[in-house]
Chains A and B, each alone.
Chain A
Amino acid sequence: MAVETDTTPKFAEYAHPNRLVSTDWLAEHLGDTDLVVVESDEDVLLYETGHIPGSVKIDWHTDLNDPVTRDYIFGEEFAVLAGSRGIDRNSTVVIYGDKSNWWAAYTLWVFSLFGHEDVRLLDGGRDKWIAEGRAITTDVPEITPVEYPIAERSDVEIRAFKDDVIDHLNVGGTLIDVRSPEEYSGERTTAPAYPEEGALRAGHIPSAHNVPWAKAAAEDGTFKPLADLNEIYREGLGLDDADDVIAYCRIGERSSHTWFVLTHLLGFEGVRNYDGSWTEWGSAVRVPIVQGAERGEHVVK
């Protein structure tokens, strides 16, 4: 049975208020039978240095990515992963992490590929929890593994592949590039202070808007209130409720954060995350690229 929704007024404004919980809510519900708290960080060891009591760790790279093919794990592996963390199909999963929940949003998005229904983010993530002086432990929780059914991964509704992006371009669909302005313009192919992940060309997909993902996050890592988000996305980009949107970044992690904002906070229904992102597009043969700060136009050939 799902754990009750957090009724914090700020969340009530959003399209799907049940997708967020506050630190107060989580502190109150820690230990609830149907709740599993998951930490997902950029740093693979951060959980080990201290985590929310009872929480389990899921690493975006070593747990969610297939070790050989550039793809996510499939239903069988996901069932093993979730079950080993004490998550069953009906669990309420609350995910939190470092860097304004950037990686937590990525994990949430992967859970959504498998259709896990009740998955939420802790607003403000790890940093807010710690800043508030709440309990942290290095104790590894004892987990009784449970059965998780083999759920088919659906790559259609919320995931876009390169060919989908080309089709989307050809019908004039909206693209949002959530990387830094330097990556967008083509001055560089990696985020400032980030490792080179390999792209042969620099720039952006023609017509893509540039809205760095972190614009949706406040100073304390929480999501900005609805009015601010509307100003950035609905007014700033002229997005219409019926618009289909594809978001991308470098490997699909930062754009998961934007996908979460557009889908669950703003209520857009046709948002997909292009996880191949720039590391694929920037190395693909004969795909159009625009350099410079201007969006540029896609010319259908």
Chain B
Amino acid sequence: MATTELHPALAEIRDDFLELSLKDRLQLLLEFSNELPELPERYSEHPDLFEKVVECQSPVFIFVEVDENQIVHLFATAPKESPTTRGFASILAQGLGGLTADEVLAVPDDYPQMIGLSQAVSPLRIRGMTAMLGRTKRQVREKTAVK
């Protein structure tokens, strides 16, 4: 079976996590959480555009933009009281943002299981991130199909 090379942006995030102890991985996840950017103004007034990721324990909303160069931008918003969910969203926003639509679609669905968080966070919680990735890819598919 052919294995596709993981995109460098995602490989770097994975390696950053894997070289840490379990405890420090949580700390790095918290840093990601704190780095989740505020929504750009053009979207902050439009909650209607966002899709709720119902599989996540905490309310998180994502919105995917594919620009004219087929570059993907991922926007996400989750409450401050949900740092883990924010962290997951931030990893995806940083890891997927700037990739082409094809590159995003090629990301393995089990990427969330590759970054060494299952044990630190629990497999149950990781499912939320898997769901976010799945929804992101679906939105990319929908948005590239219309064009």
A197 touches B (CB below 8 Å):
yes
Q: Which residues of B contact A45 (CB under 8 A)?
A: 26, 29-30, 33, 83-84, 87
> Could you tell me the distance between the alpha carbons of A189 and B33 in the complex, rounded to whole angstroms?
29
Q: Is the CB of A43 within 8 A of B58?
A: yes
- Extra contacts, 18 of them, besides A45-B30, A195-B131 (Cβ < 8 A), are A43-B58, A43-B81, A43-B84, A43-B85, A45-B87, A46-B82, A48-B26, A48-B27, A48-B30, A49-B30, A61-B122, A61-B124, A62-B119, A62-B122, A193-B54, A194-B57, A195-B124, A197-B124
Q: Could you give, for residues 103-133 of chain B, a 1 whenever the CB lies within 8 Å of some chain A CB and a 0 otherwise?
A: 0000000000000000111101101100100
Q: Could you give, for residues 187-218 of chain A, a 1 whenever the CB lies within 8 Å of some chain B CB and a 0 otherwise?
A: 00000111111000000000000000000000
Q: Which residues of B contact A195 (CB under 8 A)?
A: 55-57, 124, 127-128, 131
Chain B positions near chain A (C-beta within 8 angstroms): 26-27, 29-30, 33, 52, 54-59, 80-85, 87, 119-122, 124-125, 127-128, 131
A39 touches B (CB below 8 Å):
no
Q: Is the CB of A44 within 8 A of B57?
A: no
> Could you tell me the distance between the alpha carbons of A151 and B57 in the complex, rounded to whole angstroms?
33
Closest 10 CB pairs of A and B: A45-B83, A61-B122, A195-B55, A45-B84, A195-B127, A43-B84, A49-B83, A48-B30, A45-B30, A193-B54
Q: Could you give, for residues 84-105 of chain A, a 1 whenever the CB lies within 8 Å of some chain B CB and a 0 otherwise?
A: 0000000000000010000000
A269 touches B (CB below 8 Å):
no
Q: Could you tell me how many residues of chain A have their Cβ less than 8 Å away from some Cβ of chain B?
A: 17
> Could you tell me the distance between the alpha carbons of A25 and B133 in the complex, rounded to whole angstroms?
45
A6 touches B (CB below 8 Å):
no
B38 to chain A, nearest CB (A): 17
Q: Is the CB of B55 within 8 A of A196?
A: yes
> Which of the residues A44, A61, A67, A194 comes within 8 Å of B26, measured between beta carbons?
A44
A42 touches B (CB below 8 Å):
yes
Q: Is the CB of B84 within 8 A of A44?
A: yes
Q: Which residues of B contact A46 (CB under 8 A)?
A: 81-84
Q: Is the CB of B83 within 8 A of A62?
A: no
> Which of the residues A44, A49, A67, A192 comes within 8 Å of B125, measured between beta carbons?
A44
> Could you tell me the distance between the alpha carbons of A46 and B80 in the complex, rounded to whole angstroms?
9
B122 to chain A, nearest CB (A): 4
Q: Which residues of B contact A194 (CB under 8 A)?
A: 57
Q: Which residues of A contact B29 (CB under 8 A)?
A: 45
Q: Which residues of A contact B124 (CB under 8 A)?
A: 61, 195, 197
> Which of the residues A44, A48, A192 comes within 8 Å of B122, measured between beta carbons?
A44
> Could you tell me the distance between the alpha carbons of A42 and B131 in the complex, rounded to whole angstroms?
18
Q: Is the CB of B122 within 8 A of A196?
A: no
Among residues of B, the one whose C-beta sits closest to the C-beta of A193 is: B54
